[in-house]
Amino acid sequence: MSYCLNPNCSEPRNKANAKLCHSCDSQLLLRDRYQVLKALGQGGFGATFLAEDRVLPGQPRCVIKQLRPSGTAPYLLQMARELFEREAVTLGKIGNHPQMPRLLDYFEDREHFYLVQEYISGATLQQEVKRNGAQNETDVREFLCEMLPLLQYLHERQVIHRDIKPANLIRRAQDKKLVLIDFGAVKNQVTQIAASQSGQTALTAYAIGTPGFAPPEQMAMRPVYASDIYALGITCIYLLTGKSPKDLEYNPTTGEMMWENMVKVSQHFIEVLRKMLEVSVRNRYHSASEVLRALEMEPYLDSLADGLVAQPNNIGKGKYSNFDNSSNNSTGNSSSSGVAQVAAAIRARRARIPDTNSNIKDSRQRVVTTQPRSSSTNVHSGNSTSVSRIKLQPYLNAENLLAAYLKGRRDFASHNLSLLNLPGANLSETNFHSSRLEKTNFQGANLHNNDFGKASLNRANLRDSNLSKTYLSYADLEGADLRGADLSNAYLSHANLRGANLCGANLTGAKVTDEQLALAKTNWMTIRPNGRRGLL
């Protein structure tokens, strides 16, 4: 069969030996060389077709991308011509890579613009998932290990793909390698030009990429290299769940995509995916190499977490909880340097931090000597070189603590309450000053008007909790989950918010600085101290 490329043709299908279209009389052999066999896809600004090159021996197949201006106005033709040339230059700059189709030809014909690329035979990842179902963690890890070096190759050549998604990834039938297709350089430039033309805003929906896979900064027409990292992370969620972003549920309070309860993967892999999917660019991995390093850290995670509760801030810039070690590895990316850093961290922490399990089991009073954090973290006051001695009170389990509260007790200062499970508890107007509450579960709890001054809430679960008017000065909230929490009028002066998740949190009237919030994770659902929603 021969296919007509006239976009206005009412019946484009023709017999294989036809010279002219039976419907519109258009020539069917493009440039006296390419015979189009069928349409592969169509979008708002162009279409792609499968064709045969009748000039080369064996008549090899190729893909023809036709760029179609949406009108005949001179500025639209000029815009299309510039965009067409820009994409051709981009594809030429990329050069030959085994995981990308080669650019074979480009030309203009009858006010339409054409790119001819190598044809990749195989099924897309979207087709694979629809046929075989969701993939497991091992498969998705292999996918990342295959795709991340390709992204690094593109980004080193100053190219942002902008449209990474399962439908644009083909597993080549010949060698089972993944091939990335449909480069989005044209789409981004369409947006920038069309946005300045009144009455042409319909082009922008095509220009910014695929909704759900494109991150917020790309939807705002400001894509960066990390935009491709986000799209790759969304693709991983699709592979693990078999659902596209539009079919997943979103938390109405925080605006976050709810996917974690739908997958069965390791906690380490969840952490990597979380950071790939950060809404804020500053909290996301900035390069493909950072993601690769995070994946390579896994063999050491069990020993790193074993017996450790608090995380010091003075061991390098990166935080092992979110695997951001770009600063530590700036002089070398070898796994041996990563092992050395992790080993050093383990030794340093074990030398300073008491055994949490023994603290929980021991109901006797004990004196614990701890090193204060660096003054740069704004967690503790006083001389940074002195040793702080904290006298911990007898250990209380969750049942005893709640019973004591019901009997009227409101003072639990300097207690070791780490790892307690207190979801939905009513503990308002209570004194937890200088207490240890690492990894304590306060989800949905009422903690209104409490005193958590100088308390350690490291990685505590405070999701959807009521912390209004709560005193948190010098508290350590590093890595704490505060999604959807009510922190209105809370006092957070000098609190450590590094890595704290404030997505969807209400900070109206809170005493907190922009510098503190810059260390935390926020999104468009976060209510700032001034009462407005949005990112910094």
Asked whether residue 501 falls in the same domain as residue 404, the answer is yes
* Residue 151 structural domain: 122-180+197-296
Binding residues: 65
- Give the helix ranges, DSSP H, for 314-455: 335-352, 356-361, 398-406
Query: Can you give the pLDDT at residue 219?
Result: 83
Q: Residue 87 in contact with residue 79, Cβ under 8 Å?
A: no
Last residue of a domain, one of 270, 296, 322: 296
Neighbours of 439 (CB within 10 A): 19
Asked whether residue 205 falls in the same domain as residue 241, the answer is yes
Asked whether residue 96 falls in the same domain as residue 134, the answer is no
Asked whether residue 108 falls in the same domain as residue 167, the answer is no
Neighbours of 489 (CB within 10 A): 17
- Tell me the DSSP string of 243-262: --GGGSEE-TTT--EE-GGG
Query: Can you give the pLDDT at residue 136?
Result: 94
Asked whether residue 502 falls in the same domain as residue 515, the answer is yes
Q: pLDDT averaged over consecutive 10-residue blocks of the chain (536 residues)? A: 87 88 89 91 76 92 83 71 77 82 86 87 95 94 93 90 93 92 50 36 47 87 92 97 91 81 92 92 92 72 39 34 35 39 45 39 35 37 36 74 92 91 94 93 94 94 94 94 94 94 92 92 89 70
Name the amino acid, one letter, at 532: R
Determine the Cα–Cα distance for residues 477 and 520; give it in Å rounded to an integer: 10
Asked whether residue 269 falls in the same domain as residue 376, the answer is no
Q: Residue 446 in contact with residue 430, Cβ under 8 Å?
A: no
Determine the Cα–Cα distance for residues 456 and 368; give it in Å rounded to an integer: 14
Residues carrying an active site annotation: 163
SS3 state at 152: helix
The tokens describing 441, both together, are: 């579960």
Last residue of a domain, one of 102, 118, 134: 118
Query: Can you give the pLDDT at residue 81?
Result: 75
Of 288, 274, 279, 177, the residue nearest 229 (C-alpha): 288
Neighbours of 533 (CB within 10 A): 14
CATH code for the domain in which residue 39 is found: 3.30.200.20
- Give the helix ranges, DSSP H, for 49-119: 74-94
Asked, for residue 346, whether it belongs to a domain, the answer is no
Task: Give the number of domains in the chain.
Answer: 3
Asked whether residue 96 falls in the same domain as residue 131, the answer is no
Asked, for residue 525, whether it belongs to a domain, the answer is yes
Asked whether residue 292 falls in the same domain as residue 397, the answer is no
Query: Can you give the pLDDT at residue 44?
Result: 53
Query: Can you give the pLDDT at residue 18?
Result: 87
Query: Can you give the pLDDT at residue 203?
Result: 35
Q: Give the chain's radius of gyration (CA, Å).
A: 29
Binding residues for ATP: 65
Q: Residue 231 in contact with residue 211, Cβ under 8 Å?
A: no
Determine the Cα–Cα distance for residues 400 and 421; give it in Å rounded to an integer: 12
CATH code for the domain in which residue 459 is found: 2.160.20.80
Asked whether residue 137 falls in the same domain as residue 280, the answer is yes
Asked whether residue 69 falls in the same domain as residue 156, the answer is no
The tokens describing 268, both together, are: 């380490």
Max CA-CA distance within the chain? 94
Determine the Cα–Cα distance for residues 142 and 390; give it in Å rounded to an integer: 47
Asked whether residue 108 falls in the same domain as residue 131, the answer is no
Put simply, whether the predicted model's pTM sits higher than 0.85 gets the answer: no
CATH code for the domain in which residue 234 is found: 1.10.510.10
